[in-house]
Amino acid sequence: MRRGFVTGLVSLVVLSLPLVGSAANRDSYNQLNLFGEVFERIRRDYVEPVDDEKLIEAAINGMLQSLDPHSSYLDAKGYRDMQVQTRGEFGGLGIEVTMDTQLGLVRVISPIDGSPADKAGVKPNDLIVAIDGEQVQGLTLADAVERMRGPAGSNIVVTLRREGLAQDFDVNITRAVIPVDAVRVEAKGSIGYMRVRSFNERTDEQLEDGIAKLERETGHMTGLILDLRNNPGGLLDQAVAVSDAFLEQGEIVSTRGRDPQAVQRFNARAGDVIHGLPMVVLINGGSASASEIVAGALQDHGRAVVLGTKSFGKGSVQTLIPLPGHGAMRLTTSRYYTPSGRSIQAKGIEPDVVVDQPIVSPLGVVIHPRSEADLRGHLENDQEQTGDQEQTGPASALPEDAKPEPATPGAGAPAAPGAQPAPSAAPVGNPPVPGSDEDYQLQRALELLRGVALFNRQRDNALALNG
């Protein structure tokens, strides 16, 4: 039965090829015959029994992963997990965590108010030592988070270590459906701070709610900091919606697939949710994909000052294609371009003001942050290949001084007056919690906006005096 299934699968693939007697198609038939021969040899001669379905899935995944680092096959479970991420809710404990790199343990940043972890007494700075009796040391942060998630109503035992207590202790927690807060806001005096963690189906709604909350808390908001650091991206339509919230008009992003003439453009509609208040966008090497679309759009239109360090450089779009009865494949189908027509693929967004995040390391070890350009098999930047930067949208009508100059490989962003260039490597250690008083990049952004507010007040006073 399994053999019949495999033969049918290969036959289906062969029949799907164009029935034209070209040399290319004949070569494809030969390669498919080679695949069938290798498959049968593995089934017959491998040292241990193998599962046919797993072999086929591995072959499909290998084929997709050979294209670029972001194309892949998702089995049924992986597809469900992807849907959970984009829906913006999951079964879990309701805690924000990070990895304490010095101790090799998971540290609690904060439990979500009213979540199962909050009700069970989990506190900020607690260390998670074990999950259901399995030690956390040796696990990646992603692995630990995966073990803490599960169906709503299921139980989990978390072993905690708390400062001031002599012994570790166990906490029994019942998982519940946890809404993922993609947006977190906090008033910093008269300046609003908005951290966008991801771009899921609820990001645009939470952004609007967050702006309303900031307006209430500040009383009279004088500026906004949009924090996109360590935001890996998400849904393209949400990146467009977030950009649109702060723009009155013009192109936000354009995408182009294999056919250079098949360009899809996304444009802003009238209406700026903060009515033109000054903005700073924070980015770093963890800002990727949808985050870079937002940063690039606001930077090209001169709507915000981008501050921090160079972004990751993922300038491609993946389409999730369901495979009925199985999982789905994630296939890179296009590149995207900022309003001025630049591709940031394998290059990243260069900040207007370069500010590195100081991290103290007792050993003084340094690392070079990984970027898209470091990934094996990454797509090349097509503008570097052709030496041309083609304007792709209405934003090509921007004034000449608003258009970015073509970047040279390895060139850094031009530093603003008084800005210090970022070092090529940062010390290893535990970075400050985003939004905290120890967050140096945030403090620089606050200083910048306070300076703008002071200048505006002095200008208005001068106008009133002379008026």
Catalytic status, residue 66: no
Rounded distance between C-alpha atoms, residue 324 and residue 77, angstroms: 13
Of 126, 188, 243, 314, which is the active-site residue?
314
Using DSSP's 3-state secondary structure scheme, residue 84 falls into: helix
Cβ atoms within 10 Å, residue 128? 25
Q: What angle do CA 258, 251, 247 make, to 5 degrees?
A: 145
Rounded distance between C-alpha atoms, residue 30 and residue 15, angstroms: 13
Q: Return the structure tokens found at 125.
A: 């700075």
Q: Is 199 left (phi over 0), alpha (psi -120 to 50) or beta?
A: beta
Q: Is the CB of residue 78 less than 8 Å from the CB of residue 405?
A: no
Q: Is the CB of residue 184 less than 8 Å from the CB of residue 226?
A: no
Q: Is the CB of residue 357 less than 8 Å from the CB of residue 441?
A: yes
Residue whose token pair is 């090529």:
424
Of 110, 289, 316, 334, which is the active-site residue?
289
Catalytic status, residue 314: yes
How many residues belong to the chain? 467
Q: Is the CB of residue 231 less than 8 Å from the CB of residue 291?
A: yes
Rounded distance between C-alpha atoms, residue 252 and residue 265, angstroms: 8
Q: Is 304 left (phi over 0), alpha (psi -120 to 50) or beta?
A: beta
Residue whose C-alpha is closest to residue 393's, from 268, 251, 255: 251
Q: What pairing do the DSSP bridges indicate for beta strands 127-131 and 134-135? A: antiparallel
Rg (CA), the chain: 25
DSSP state string for 354-396? E-------TT--EEPPP-GGGSTTPPP-HHHHHT-----SGGG
Catalytic status, residue 68: no
Q: Is the CB of residue 256 less than 8 Å from the CB of residue 315?
A: no
171: β partners = 158
Rounded distance between C-alpha atoms, residue 53 and residue 241, angstroms: 40
Rounded distance between C-alpha atoms, residue 366 and residue 355, angstroms: 17
Cβ atoms within 10 Å, residue 103? 14
Of 300, 352, 356, 439, which is the active-site residue?
300
Query: What's the half-sphere exposure (Cβ side, CA atoms, 13 Å) at 228?
Result: 38
- Indicate which residues carry an active-site annotation: 289, 300, 314
